Amino acid sequence: MEPLDRDLDEASLDLPSEPMLLNMGPSHPAMHGTVRIVLELSGETINKADVQIGYLHRGFEKMCERGTWTQVFPYVDRLNYVSPMLNNVGFALAVEKMLGVTVPERCQYYRVILGELARICDHMICSGAMAMELGAFTPFLYLCRAREIFWEIFEEETGARLTHSFGRVGGMARPPTPDFKAMVRVGLARVLTLISDAEKLILKNRIFLDRLDGIGRMSQEDALALGWTGVVLRATGVPYDVRRANPYMVYDRFEFDVPVGTRGDNYDRFMCRQEEIRQAARIIEQALDQMPDEGPINIDDPRIVLPPKEEVYTTIEATIQHFKIVMEGIKVPAGECYSYTEAGNGELGFYLVSDGSGTPYRVRIRPPCFATTQGLSQLITGLMIPDVVPTFGSLNMIGGECDH
């Protein structure tokens, strides 16, 4: 029998330790099926994180180049699929900027209200999912219930619960329903109570706060260098909100605050979202008061807006006009423009190039998530595996707009 310790010296008695590589995602409950993080672990601590995106890449920008300008709307619905209305409005504004037209005031208010409703949905789901991934299931159910109220309103207004495709160049697909204001008022009050109920469950919970407080901190300089915008940037203390910095539509007429954080950690991001929900509710209330009940929704330009259906079926001019817009598309003058709005996650920009035909020459988007996701590996390096969950959740990375 051989001696067991035949050629062991002191050093080789130590256990060999090498970092463990762990593939987190894309099929991982916290990764939403849209991202993969290759983690280099020592124990549970993350030494290195390699964030790999692209699992939801659909060639969106290329797809836009093969239809008319109006046919892009269904695609932008699927960018940030948590708040499609904001993308609709953003794209409509971009094309209108190229055309040099402004929609009637009533439509602007309508867009603001629908957009802010979508923003509330977006923030609610982000916060709710974050709480759920930390194990607190009930707040998520409360917030889903709240979202359901708004989705009913969207269903009533647009006919679709999620992918509305409701925006149009020069207006909206349909005017508001007669009950629109009453519905939003009733729904908003219910949603705000549900949100406070959900907050009561988690914001006094020491376990929940311990999981968020001081985790995933980002400095102002780094956030700006990475090109962060939206809630994640404001949580670091930079008060940059497109609605305030560069007011579009009628945002300059509303009183609202831009909540900012101080440390840029998960807690700040969570609380900024919650406060933004309340500010959005304020905007909606003011907009409901100011929005005229009568008046056109679409601009009065037969080259851009489809004629009413009864005229299409009765007059030859309207028939031809309808045919031209549908088959050839709206003729956007040649040129290029960059238009940006405040979407659910931050600055959503559209860089459009037109060659004067009815089809976009190039649609390039600047998704807020793309910049945000760049910072993820920096955020989670040095943390533990469980910290990935709230950190990733608080960034609200949406694969649809990130992979463009």
Partner 1 sequence: MTVVELALAIVKILIVVMFLLNMAAIATWADRRQGAMVQDRVGPNRAVVYLPSMIVRGVVFFPPALLGALAVFTATRAMPAPVAVEALVIGAQFAVFVTWLGLLVFCAAARRGGPINAAEEALARFDPRSIFYAGVMAHVLAFFVTQAVPLSAAPTAARVVCVLLGALLVVTGAYTALRVPEGKVALRLLGTLHAAADAIKMIWKEDFIPPKGDRLLHSLAPLLAMFPALVTFAVIPFGDKLCFEDNGDGVFGFADLPLLKRTVDQAFTCGGHVASLQVADLNVGILYIFAMAGTGIIGAALAGWASDNKFSLLGGLRAASQMVSYEVAMGLSVVGLFMIYSSVRLGDMVQWQAEHAWGIFVQPFAFFLFLAALAAETKRIPFDQPEGESEIVSGYFVEYSGMKFGMFMTGEYVELITSSALLVTLFFGGYHLPFLDRDGINVVFGETVLFQYKMTHLAVSLTYALAFFGKTILMTWVQVFFRWTLPRFRYDQVMRLGWTKLLPLTLVNMMVTGIVVLAVDSAPEGLRSGLQVAADVSHALVAVGGFAAVVALIAGLLEPIDRQRTLASTSARFAAAAGGTKASPQQA
How far apart are CB 132 and partner 1 at their closest, in Å?
8
Burial of 10 (0-12, 13-18, 19+ CB in 10 A): exposed
Per-residue x/- marks for partner 1, 258-297, CB under 8 A? ----------------------------------------
Contacts 24+ apart (CB under 8 A), 235-243: 235/260, 235/261, 235/264, 235/265, 235/268, 235/269, 235/271, 235/272, 236/261, 236/263, 236/264, 236/268, 237/261, 237/262, 237/263, 237/264, 241/342, 242/340, 242/341, 242/342, 242/347, 243/342
Maximum separation of any 2 CA atoms in the chain, in Å:
104
Nearer to partner 1, 144 or 337 (CB): 144
Among the listed residues 271, 258, 268, the one whose alpha carbon sits nearest the alpha carbon of residue 217: 268
How many Cα atoms sit within 13 Å of 80 on the Cβ side? Answer: 34
Establish if 381 lies at the interface with partner 1 (CB under 8 A): no
By CB under 8 A, tell whether 203 contacts partner 1.
no
CB of 27 to partner 1, least distance (A): 9
Judged by CB, which is closer to partner 1: 250, or 385? Answer: 385
Please say which residue, 135 or 333, places its beta carbon nearer to partner 1: 135
- Smallest distance, partner 1 to C-beta of residue 48, A: 16
CA angle 402, 128, 85 (to 5 degrees): 50
Q: Binding pattern to partner 1, positions 11-50, x when CB under 8 A?
A: ---------x-x-----xxx-------------x------
**Subset of residues 92 to 111 that bind partner 1, contact rule: CB under 8 A:** none
Of 57 and 190, which CB lies nearer to partner 1 in the complex structure?
190
Closest approach, Cβ 190 to partner 1, in A, equals 7
Q: Which of 155, 213, 252, 301 is in the footprint of partner 1 by CB under 8 A?
A: 155
Residue number, 48 or 145, with CB nearest to partner 1: 145
Helices (H), 213-367: 220-226, 230-234, 242-245, 266-290, 309-314, 316-328
Percentage helix, strand, coil, to 5, in the chain? 50, 10, 35
Which range binds partner 1 by CB under 8 A, 5-13, 184-192, 270-278, 322-330? 184-192
> Does the footprint of partner 1 cover residue 197 (CB under 8 A)?
no
Q: Which is nearer to partner 1, 147 or 322 (CB)?
A: 147
Q: Which of 105, 148, 222, 285 binds partner 1 (CB under 8 A)?
A: 148
